[in-house]
Amino acid sequence: MSDIKTDITITVIDREGVEHVFEAPTDMGLNLMELCKANELPVLGTCGGMALCSTCHVYVKSNNDLPEMTDDEEAILDQAFFVDDDESRLGCQLKLTDKLDGLLVHLAPDGE
Amino acid sequence: MVETDILIVGAGPCGLFTVFEAGLIKLRCHLVDALPMPGGQLSEIYPKKPIYDIPGFPEILAGDLVDNLMKQIEPFSPGFTLGERAESIEKMDDGRYKLTTNRGTEHLAPVIAIAGGLGCFEPRKPPISNIADFEDKGVEYIIRDPEFYRNKRVVIAGGGDSALDWTIFLADIASEICLVHRRTSFRGALDSVEKVMHLAEEGKVELITDAQIVGLNGTDKLHEVVIKHKTEGEKAKSTDHFVPLFGLSPKLGPLADWGLNITKNAIDVDTLDYSTNVPGIYAIGDINNYEGKLKLILCGFHEATMMVQSAFKFINPDAKLSFKYTTVNGVQGFEKAES
């Protein structure tokens, strides 16, 4: 992995309150859920990133310019648990781009 | 009692394809699945999504792949136990395994192939601390027979098609029906949303939005739910039944207690033949684990093919298996098995 350009910094606070800081590439088409899984965080990503489950549910705490929420994502968050109407997003719908540099998220409680 | 050669736990794509490969070497199969239809994750989670990595299909809808597989295995007349969860296994004196489901249906086979995917789909339970205390005592996650609710007071929670459809249906059966949803808008079919709104205006349905059920009270059975509104605080509502309808999510379930080596919710297998640590039990598809494992349907198809060769030798240790191509031999099906 040392040849891949690492571009942005993402901080994820897990369900025990432990902070994890990652350097992540923006040129691999990764999303936040995949980043968490690749780094062994307890994010199941059951549906593989299709916005069909809520196992990658996060609370966004920073002010980054996030991609607009799609109908599919909204439908899932509608039925998810522990949702915060302002901060809740699905990690799989947050593609890692320059705009997400400095992103800070908390993993939502396990709703499954 | 169902008797077969290979008992397949899970009727998703890999479980289904196992029937084909097994059939080519004259092994009969029976499938058990907790869902009421075959297809596993494809049918339950993403039937309308296109899949691009099935060899030979530049693009195929998940639901169509399931239909194709069902057609492909038809000549081998597989049996199905659907809507029942594989619960326990027991080794019999003759060496065969007896598998019993949660509804008590028994199956006997020398070989079990676990094609359980991500686990068995179970209802998502809302995070209410004492909800387990009221299961079957007023709390139900599935409505099997709507007549059960005749003249009873029912509270349904959820915002999708399931919650809307059952609210509409029970409006004429229950003595009181109340739908509680966390938001003000619903994500179900527009038609259903309109029907519910209409019923609410007529006073046949009580609709409480911007609210969630946060507590349950009762002694030997459910007596009331506690509803927390976004802005107006909490209130108790007397009821006989609470039916949370929040969709399904997969859980490893009873498999975890079958004596198999499990790592990270997946069953460890030998890549020679996808056997587990228990002789006669194999694991294929997403449910298994080995170095380099990829959770792809096509990998599961390969694993099924290798596995049935080993299963044949396990069942018929003295028989010789000669490798045949379908282009040479065609597909010779079985007559329908007697049930």
Domain boundaries, chain B: 2-122+249-329, 131-246
Q: Is A47 on the interface with B (CB under 8 A)?
A: yes
Whole-Å CA distances, A103 to A9, A48, A70, B313: 7, 22, 20, 55
% of chain A surpassing 70 pLDDT: 94
pLDDT of residue A6: 67
pLDDT of residue B339: 47
Query: Which residues numbered 88-147 in B keep a CB inside 8 Å of some CB on A?
Result: 118, 124, 126-127
> CA-CA distance, B277 to B297, in Å (whole number)?
23
Q: Is A40 on the interface with B (CB under 8 A)?
A: no
B201, exposed or middle or buried, with CB in 10 Å at 0-12, 13-18, 19+? Answer: exposed
Task: Please tell me which residue of chain B has the smallest CA distance to A46.
Answer: B118
Of A46, A55, A79, the CB nearest to B246: A79
Chain-chain contact of A46 with B183 (C-beta, under 8 angstroms) = no
Give the mean pLDDT of B57-85. Answer: 97
pLDDT of residue A5: 57
Cβ proximity of A49 and A33 under 8 Å: yes
Q: Examine the predicted complex and report whether its ipTM is higher than 0.90.
A: no
What class does CATH assign to B131-246? alpha beta
pLDDT of residue A4: 52
Among residues B92, B84, B102, B208, the alpha carbon closest in space to that of B155 is found at B208
Tell whether the model's pLDDT for residue B322 goes beyond 90. no
Tell whether the model's pLDDT for residue A70 goes beyond 90. yes
For chain B, what is the mean pLDDT?
A: 94
Give the mean pLDDT of B265-281. Answer: 96
Tell whether the model's pLDDT for residue B295 goes beyond 50. yes
List domains and CATH numbers for chain A.
8-106 (3.10.20.30)
Chain-chain contact of A81 with B247 (C-beta, under 8 angstroms) = no
Q: Is A75 on the interface with B (CB under 8 A)?
A: yes
Whole-Å CA distances, A108 to A17, B160, B171: 11, 21, 35
DSSP symbol at A85: T
**Measured between CA atoms, how close is A108 to chain B, in angstroms?**
13
Give the model's confidence band at B13: pLDDT under 50 very low, under 70 low, under 90 confident, else very high: very high
Give the mean pLDDT of B31-58. Answer: 94
Chain-chain contact of B45 with A112 (C-beta, under 8 angstroms) = no
Tell whether the model's pLDDT for residue A112 goes beyond 80. no
Tell whether the model's pLDDT for residue B139 goes beyond 60. yes
Q: Which two tokens stand for residue B299?
A: 């990998």
Chain-chain contact of A52 with B124 (C-beta, under 8 angstroms) = no
Cβ proximity of B10 and B285 under 8 Å: yes
> CA-CA distance, A59 to A85, in Å (whole number)?
10
Give the mean pLDDT of B264-284. Answer: 96
SS (H, E, C) B5-66: CEEEECCCHHHHHHHHHHHHCCCCEEEEECCCCCCHHHHHCCCCCEECCECCECCEEHHHHH
Chain-chain contact of B45 with A83 (C-beta, under 8 angstroms) = no
Tell whether the model's pLDDT for residue B332 goes beyond 90. no
CATH assignment of B2-122+249-329?
3.50.50.60
Residue B309, helix vs strand vs coil: helix
